[in-house]
Amino acid sequence: MSGFTHFDAEGRAQMVDVGDKPATERIATAKGRVVMAPETLAMIVEGRAKKGDVLAVARLAGIMAAKKTADLIPLCHPLMLSKVAVDLVPLPPDRIEIEATVKLTGQTGVEMEALTAVSVAALTVYDMVKAVDRGMRIEDIRLTHKSGGKSGSFDAA
Amino acid sequence: MSGFTHFDAEGRAQMVDVGDKPATERIATAKGRVVMAPETLAMIVEGRAKKGDVLAVARLAGIMAAKKTADLIPLCHPLMLSKVAVDLVPLPPDRIEIEATVKLTGQTGVEMEALTAVSVAALTVYDMVKAVDRGMRIEDIRLTHKSGGKSGSFDAA
Amino acid sequence: MSGFTHFDAEGRAQMVDVGDKPATERIATAKGRVVMAPETLAMIVEGRAKKGDVLAVARLAGIMAAKKTADLIPLCHPLMLSKVAVDLVPLPPDRIEIEATVKLTGQTGVEMEALTAVSVAALTVYDMVKAVDRGMRIEDIRLTHKSGGKSGSFDAA
Amino acid sequence: MSGFTHFDAEGRAQMVDVGDKPATERIATAKGRVVMAPETLAMIVEGRAKKGDVLAVARLAGIMAAKKTADLIPLCHPLMLSKVAVDLVPLPPDRIEIEATVKLTGQTGVEMEALTAVSVAALTVYDMVKAVDRGMRIEDIRLTHKSGGKSGSFDAA
Amino acid sequence: MSGFTHFDAEGRAQMVDVGDKPATERIATAKGRVVMAPETLAMIVEGRAKKGDVLAVARLAGIMAAKKTADLIPLCHPLMLSKVAVDLVPLPPDRIEIEATVKLTGQTGVEMEALTAVSVAALTVYDMVKAVDRGMRIEDIRLTHKSGGKSGSFDAA
Amino acid sequence: MSGFTHFDAEGRAQMVDVGDKPATERIATAKGRVVMAPETLAMIVEGRAKKGDVLAVARLAGIMAAKKTADLIPLCHPLMLSKVAVDLVPLPPDRIEIEATVKLTGQTGVEMEALTAVSVAALTVYDMVKAVDRGMRIEDIRLTHKSGGKSGSFDAA
């Protein structure tokens, strides 16, 4: 099954050997968004200014989730992340843009950690606001930057 | 901060009291998709027939993630789920549709568990295929059905 | 070893049988404090008004820790908490008072969940502020209220 | 918010970048105590000699908790601890002194791991003895030694 | 795939629906053993009398592992165990017999929890003694008793 | 208690200091088996060919469990595994042979990770098949190969 490194020659799932890779600095950035009713976003923005900061709770949840990636994604390696930052920006009238950047010096990339941080931050926004808007959607979670490692850099919108 | 039940009157985040709610049967279904290059989907479908089943690994990851929801989403209640099912269907030329259904008899809904299962199943597809396609996107994660509980039923496309 | 219910007649540690206890509403409140240099408290209070809310992060950490109690304390039963609230109040010149209240309807009390929430909220304050004040102390963590269960209510200062 | 490294310039919580720090040997020691009724301490000491060793259970709980620190404290880095030791010493008439030492060679300190080990060991003592003494208090948890890292050594009583 | 309830009609793994089962008292007992060199067992027994109790550490590890069963076994339901007891008995010249009993009132059985407790207690014995005896074997882990639930009781040697 | 490195001179359990050991490549392989009724094995093999792959689920569970070893075994060090592979082979008429290989470059061996992977893979087979065969036994879990580290290599059948 050429190309899918998480299977061996017999098609059995495995955690691939990264022991021979050099330890280099790896950075990954992922993005995504939560789309909602304009009134819902207005409530979040208003609450932030006053009391009850949905975005601060979601940011923390995203950071903590990055540390749990190897526990969630079956074939991910456990990693000692050296940095995790998550940002949520309200974009009126109807969305919150989420971006996560993860960094480590190690033998494997941190794309999954960045994507997991964005996903869980988005889920946390949903959880905190679902009582007023069940129709929210989590959209467009993707990798936007990756550097370090032999496969070279990657950049996308 | 009316409407946002996860904050008290002072704007402090809290895990809300569900102790007085009756225990009823709760069901939630969520959906989402992973969009990729057509060749990537072809590889997944081919591998499934032969050896190395990406979708089976992602299904398991989604089921296990549903059980971790309270550990990931800060203000979610720990729940004793009575059923979790996750399904991934390839939709040529370029996508995999994911659906998760979660059920319990309890005092609070299971929307977050269904949404978390879909999200982690999608992330697992990404992880297993990322070596051949870094441009995949996770799209349109949303609640499509909810029943049980005093807020009534909810259905969406 | 009369009195220590976590040991059997031979002195072997065990998770005691609560299966025959009735499910009643249980509430527990615990308190504690972090004592620090007055300048440190001033920085926390100032940051809260402006940007960077140490107390909001610690509150969330306390809530999430309550859910992990059975994972941390070897002989605690896993419980489905119905409510967790944690509050941190700056008390000038030199301390932050912490209070946690936990509630469930079940067969065993939630004292350990309330005490764990206070402890981890206090540790989180320490973590966020340690770069400017290594001499902080966590003081006086204790149970202040307990109700429900056959052992009756308990109240303390 | 100068001094509080866990916030960025905008006041957003983050897991700070330690990737550029050199990997050096880091050691931290923390202390604390549990204060109780003299009869409670007598029961613990007697049980230890005979059967049912509260202190041995608490020691293990403390060691295991040190390994969970990054899961409990939101902005802590995951670390590969090279040593954890926890000691509990009964100090008649009414207290148990707890000390934890943690060591690693890495890019960030292990103060939080030592403080977490002490806190959870203390909570475990409370849990095992609470049926006979609800008035126990956990006191004076603090860092007593730290070495390694650019911020230099720290020693306190 | 008749008989294998963890697969649906299409052969997809699932966490089966137990929501319609009545909540009854469920008990399960499992056993197993660790076989080792006679000198190794002598060291363990001697240490137990003096200092350093391998069996007490393994007992705690087994109890704590029972609580993690749903996290380890992909299709197990999360359960609120009401009792866990683990016992390890040296059987000279060369083995330690392990027995675990788990109990709950609920909708599904606790066989996996009892078997997991025995397995992890056995692994912990191995870990603590491996520096002197790498040839140890974990043998004969099996269910010896099960009651409660519609499938009736089960007893084996 | 000479020989048992997990206790200090006073017999207190500890996580031993590996900080002075050199980081070398460590490999460990463990084996075990599940013995069952011949009809049970026939069902598993048939299901594998058609739909419902018990062995694929067990393999994933074993891989994921290797990553949780330090969480399960009280005195194990947290490790950054660089490879985990688990294989399950049906051996008619009545058994499934399990083998796990774990690798890392680090300061301590990975025997416990390999043994834990085998144990949890075996438990998962039991879980998925228990509805048709409660008499299964998990047999002969042992270390079969170890290399790297100053204690030298070890090989067994």
Cα separation, F57 vs F55, whole angstroms: 5
State residue A149's pLDDT score: 82
Is residue A48 scored above 60 in pLDDT?
yes
Which of F82, F32, F60 lies closest to A7, judged by CA? Answer: F60
Question: Mutation test of the interface with chain D: which of A64, A120, A124, choosing the one with the most D Cβ atoms within 10 A?
Answer: A64
Q: What is the DSSP letter of A76?
A: P
Contacts of A12 in chain F (CB under 8 A): 56, 59, 85, 87
DSSP D2-22: TT-TTB-TTS-B-B---TTS-
Sign of CA pseudo-dihedral D40, D46, D49, D51:
negative
Other beta carbons less than 10 A from residue C7's beta carbon: 22
Q: How far is CA B33 from the centre of its chain?
A: 11
State residue F9's pLDDT score: 84
Range with the largest mean pLDDT of A41-50, C41-50, F16-25: F16-25
**Strand spans (E) along E8-157:** 24-35, 83-91, 95-106, 137-147, 154-155
Identity of the amino acid at B63? I
Q: Which of E13, E71, E78 sits opposite B59 (nearest CB)?
A: E13
Q: How far is CA B132 from the centre of its chain?
A: 25
Is residue A46 scored above 50 in pLDDT?
yes
Q: D75–A81: do the CB atoms touch at under 8 Å?
A: no
Cα separation, A49 vs E145, whole angstroms: 60
Collect all residues with Cβ–Cβ distance below 8 Å to B139 and sequence separation of at least 6.
A139, A140, A141, B32, B33, B34, B35
Contacts of D135 in chain C (CB under 8 A): 142-143, 156
Question: Mutation test of the interface with chain E: which of D50, D60, D120, D124, choosing the one with the most E Cβ atoms within 10 A?
Answer: D60
Q: C80–B80: do the CB atoms touch at under 8 Å?
A: yes
Which of E140, E125, A134 lies closest to B114, judged by CA? Answer: A134
Question: ∠ CA(D16), CA(C52), CA(C36), 5° rounding?
Answer: 90
Cα separation, B116 vs B54, whole angstroms: 19
A150 by DSSP, 3-state: which? coil
Count of A-C CB contacts under 8 Å: 9
Kindly indicate the confidence band of residue D152, based on its pLDDT and cuts at 50, 70 and 90: confident
Contacts of A57 in chain C (CB under 8 A): 56, 60
Tell whether residue C128 is among the known ligand binding residues. Answer: no
Give chain C's radius of gyration (CA, Å).
17
User: Looking at the DSSP assignment, which residues form a beta bridge with residue B103?
Assistant: B27, B83
pLDDT digits (tens, 9 = 90+) for D90-148: 999 999 999 999 999 888 999 999 999 999 999 999 999 999 999 999 999 999 999 99
Kindly indicate the confidence band of residue C47, based on its pLDDT and cuts at 50, 70 and 90: confident
Q: Which of A67, A86, A105 sits opposite D78 (nearest CB)?
A: A67
When the pLDDT of each residue in chain B is averaged and rounded to a whole number, the result is 92
Contacts of F16 in chain D (CB under 8 A): 83
User: Looking at the DSSP assignment, which residues form a beta bridge with residue A66?
Assistant: none
Tell whether residue C10 is among the known ligand binding residues. Answer: no
Question: Mutation test of the interface with chain B: which of C25, C67, C87, C101, choosing the one with the most B Cβ atoms within 10 A?
Answer: C67
The chain E residue lying nearest B84, using CA atoms, is E15
Chain F nearest C-alpha distance from B52 (Å): 10
Kindly indicate the confidence band of residue A1, based on its pLDDT and cuts at 50, 70 and 90: very low
Kindly indicate the confidence band of residue E41, based on its pLDDT and cuts at 50, 70 and 90: very high
Question: Mutation test of the interface with chain C: which of D51, D130, D154, D155, choosing the one with the most C Cβ atoms within 10 A?
Answer: D130
ipTM: 0.96
Collect all residues with Cβ–Cβ distance below 8 Å to E90 and sequence separation of at least 6.
E41, E44, E45, E48, E55, E96
Q: Which of D6, D127, D137 sits opposite C76 (nearest CB)?
A: D127
State residue A52's pLDDT score: 64
Model pTM? 0.96
Q: D4–C132: do the CB atoms touch at under 8 Å?
A: yes
Tell whether residue C43 is among the known ligand binding residues. Answer: no
Contacts of E85 in chain C (CB under 8 A): 8, 12, 14-15
Which subunits sit against E, judged by 3+ Cβ pairs under 8 A? B, C, D, F
Q: Which of A4, A52, A76 sits opposite B43 (nearest CB)?
A: A4
**Strand spans (E) along chain E:** 24-35, 83-91, 95-106, 137-147, 154-155
State residue A126's pLDDT score: 97
Which subunits sit against C, judged by 3+ Cβ pairs under 8 A? A, B, D, E
Kindly indicate the confidence band of residue D1, based on its pLDDT and cuts at 50, 70 and 90: very low
Average confidence (pLDDT) over A44-69:
88
State residue B99's pLDDT score: 98
State residue F73's pLDDT score: 97
A28-32, B137-141, D153-157: the lowest-pLDDT one: D153-157
Q: E53–D57: do the CB atoms touch at under 8 Å?
A: no
Contact D27, D101 (CB under 8 A): yes
Cα separation, D118 vs D99, whole angstroms: 6
More confident residue, C137 or A105: C137
State residue B3's pLDDT score: 67
Phi/psi of residue D100, each to 5°? -130, 140
Contacts of B25 in chain E (CB under 8 A): 19
Catalytic (active-site) positions of E: 127
B47-61, B90-104, D87-101, E19-33: the lowest-pLDDT one: B47-61
- What is the SS3 assignment for chain F? CCCCCCECCCCCECECCCCCCCCEEEEEEEEEEEECCHHHHHHHHHHHHHCCCHHHHHHHHHHHHHCCHHHHCCCCCCCCCCEEEEEEEEECCCEEEEEEEEEEEECCCCHHHHHHHHHHHHHHHHHHHCCCCCCCEEEEEEEEEEECCCCCCEECC
Which of F119, F125, F140, F98 lies closest to F40, judged by CA? Answer: F125
- Chain B positions contacting chain C at CB under 8 Å are 8, 12-19, 70-71, 74-75, 77-80, 106-107
Is residue A107 scored above 90 in pLDDT?
no
Catalytic (active-site) positions of D: 127
Low-confidence ranges of chain F (pLDDT < 70): 1-3, 49-52
Is residue B53 scored above 70 in pLDDT?
yes
Q: E17–B63: do the CB atoms touch at under 8 Å?
A: no
State residue F48's pLDDT score: 73
The chain B residue lying nearest E8, using CA atoms, is B85
The chain D residue lying nearest C31, using CA atoms, is D137
Q: What is the DSSP letter of A107?
A: S
Is residue D62 scored above 70 in pLDDT?
yes
Average confidence (pLDDT) over A5-10:
86
Kindly indicate the confidence band of residue E107, based on its pLDDT and cuts at 50, 70 and 90: confident
State residue E19's pLDDT score: 86
Contact C28, C146 (CB under 8 A): yes
